[in-house]
Amino acid sequence: MLGAPGSRSTVTGGAAELAVMWGGFPLLGAGAGWLLAAAAGWIAALPWAPVQGLFEALSRLPQPQVTIGAAALGALAGGLLATAGTAERLTVTVQNERVGLRRDGRRQDVARREVRVVFADDRDLVLLDADGGELVRERSELDRDRLRSAFRAHGWPWADEDPHRAAYRLWVTGLPGLPVGADALLRARQDALTRDRKDDVREIRRELGRIGVVVRDEGHRQYWRLTGRAVLPGAEPASTEPEVDRR
């Protein structure tokens, strides 16, 4: 059943999440700044304390001005964290013919005709195409039930779990069955995972997708599967036909 033409369902973290960030982060920052300034003399006297010179200098400054200033700086730092957290929130807007995903000022639109299945994989929202390749994988703290309701309300093929989950294999370097170049990319991605280089991890995931390899992470371990566009040496492209919950 489709929603009314032109209707949309928007899923965000909601006002409560914003209230926690904008009320909690500045308050916690102010409290931390106040405590550090108030305890500067005691910390400076500890023989094992780091940056003792800084705390000793703080302890010599006039009170209560230094404590008030430290609290203000802490609140400012908390406000900056809240600003970054607000920008990083994912907003999903679902319509009958397309879905829009917005984060940090960037927007991605995906047409309904391109999508074979939608599901939540742990904390990731995933959209797959007809070949089983990933059109979208976005980290999301959004409520799974709200996402399911929004997509189903507009006739999108939502699945309650990854229909390809059983096809994943643990990656071990040199393991056969991968397209040419995939093993080198997975080695580079493993290194990026270990070093927590998130931009490199995402970019290499996209490169793997172009040659027909989907990768998912469990901790620092990589699991992979092939899509319908994958071509192995001396083999025809694979075929994938996932079962989709169309309720």
pLDDT at residue number 15: 54
Identity of the residue numbered 237 = P
Say whether pLDDT at 27 is over 90: no
Q: What is the DSSP letter of 231?
A: -
Measured distance CA(118)–CA(128) in Å, rounded: 7
Q: What is the pLDDT of residues 107-159, one digit of tens each?
A: 999 999 999 999 999 889 999 999 999 999 998 888 899 999 999 999 999 99
Measured distance CA(75)–CA(66) in Å, rounded: 14
Measured distance CA(223)–CA(172) in Å, rounded: 9
Whether the Cβ atoms of residue 44 and residue 55 lie closer than 8 Å to each other: yes
pLDDT tier, 236 (very low <50, low <70, confident <90, very high otherwise): low
Tokens 């990933």, residue located: 134
Say whether pLDDT at 205 is over 90: yes
Contacts (Cβ under 8 Å, ≥6 apart) of 194: 220
Say whether pLDDT at 85 is over 90: no
Q: What is the pLDDT of residues 68-81, one digit of tens each?
A: 877 888 778 876 77
Helix axes 182-194, 198-210, angle to 10 degrees: 160
Percent of the chain with pLDDT over 70: 81
Measured distance CA(195)–CA(197) in Å, rounded: 6
Measured distance CA(222)–CA(193) in Å, rounded: 9
* H/E stretch holding 28: helix 25-38
Q: Dig out the tokens for 143 from the structure.
A: 């409520």
At 178 the three-state DSSP class reads: coil
pLDDT tier, 19 (very low <50, low <70, confident <90, very high otherwise): low
- pLDDT (mean) for 88-117: 91
Average pLDDT for the chain = 83
Q: Which residues, in sequence order, are bridge partners of residue 93?
A: 10, 100
pLDDT at residue number 181: 93
Q: Which residues, in sequence order, are bridge partners of residue 121?
A: 124
Residue of 121, 125, 122 lying closest to 11 (CA atoms): 125
Tokens 């092939």, residue located: 226
Measured distance CA(111)–CA(190) in Å, rounded: 32
Q: What is the pLDDT of residues 156-204, one digit of tens each?
A: 999 999 999 999 999 999 888 999 999 999 999 999 999 999 899 999 9
Which of 25-39, 49-63, 228-242 is the most confident on average?
Answer: 25-39
Q: Dig out the tokens for 82 from the structure.
A: 């809240």
pLDDT at residue number 32: 82
Handedness of CA 15, 18, 22, 24 (dihedral sign): positive
pLDDT at residue number 220: 87
Distances (CA, A) of 103 to 13, 49, 59, 62, 85: 12, 40, 43, 44, 10
